[in-house]
Amino acid sequence: MDNLAFVFSGQGAQYPGMGKDIYDAFPAAGKVLDDLDKRRSGLKELIFSSSEETLMQTANTQCAMYALEAMITAVLEEEGIKPSCTAGFSLGELTALAAAGVYSMEDGFEITRIRAALMQEATEKTDAVMDAVLKLQDATVEKLAAQYRSIYPVNYNSPGQVVVAAARNEVEAFEESVKASGGRTMRLRVSGGFHSPFMSTAADRFLEQLDAFSFSAPSIPVWSNVSGRKYEGNIKAALALQIKSPVRWVDIVEDMIRCGVTSVIEIGPGSTLTGLIRRISRDVKTYNAGTAEGVNRILEEVRNV
């Protein structure tokens, strides 16, 4: 598959039992998860058997999501399906960088554990939520948010969809403002106000922790959440800044298309990112690799090309 991008899911798409069929069906996936389970005891049980509430805790979600994405990546690559570039949404950017050889999948898991713990700690010190705002222009959402002390537009997902991080004591008033302006809101299944000033301390401490890891130049282009463009310069600094900065997903997808991407495989549970991509452009062919059925469908199509 030429001009193929792997895109990696972020928090919010997780669900108990995700990836169990992939683990059972593909030995390459089983090896990856068995190895990561040795690094964090109980990881398999967390992914396959925990409650939704337990899995939703940031310290758990990020490790579980990274492990699933590493499993799927290993299966696709063993079958000869390799991307020409990668991108990831929030947490997914860590897997995207590993897939591009910036660090090993194992180091990526350790980096994820550190990020997850720091962000969990930050969520416990702030009372914040995340709200998707639908049916309004970006500028309108920004104008409404500016009327509040602690409402921040943070995820630019697709035309007519911006997510805000919000102080809990302000979010209901903000939602009423959105409704009065002709939009609607939807609370996200996450445990904190990510990609905002609520995460400033976590971002600063994460940058310090990254000193312990060696990063290489990407072997293929990787798009940055912070800039919406290909990674250039100091990857560690940008990866830390990402924790407290908006995700420029629309910019990423539009720039990938300008650079020739014609097909995208979403690696992770669900179809959130491919759904957003279709809202941004109908010219990109999308696939989902979150289940064994989805992976097999991709393998079958590739074999028939």
- Tell me the catalytic residues: 90, 195
What CA–CA distance (Å, rounded) separates 116 from 93? 13
Distances (CA, A) of 150 to 45, 129, 165: 37, 11, 8
Residue 279 DSSP SS3: helix
Which tokens hold the place of 148?
Answer: 């509040």
Give the integer Cα–Cα distance in Å for 293 and 120. Answer: 33
Q: Do residues 189 and 236 make contact, with C-beta atoms less than 8 angstroms apart?
A: no
Asked whether 84 and 99 are in contact (CB, 8 A), the reply is no
Q: Quick one: DSSP state of residue 122?
A: H
Structure tokens at 89: 């949404």
Helix (H, G, I), strand (E, B) or coil at 69: helix
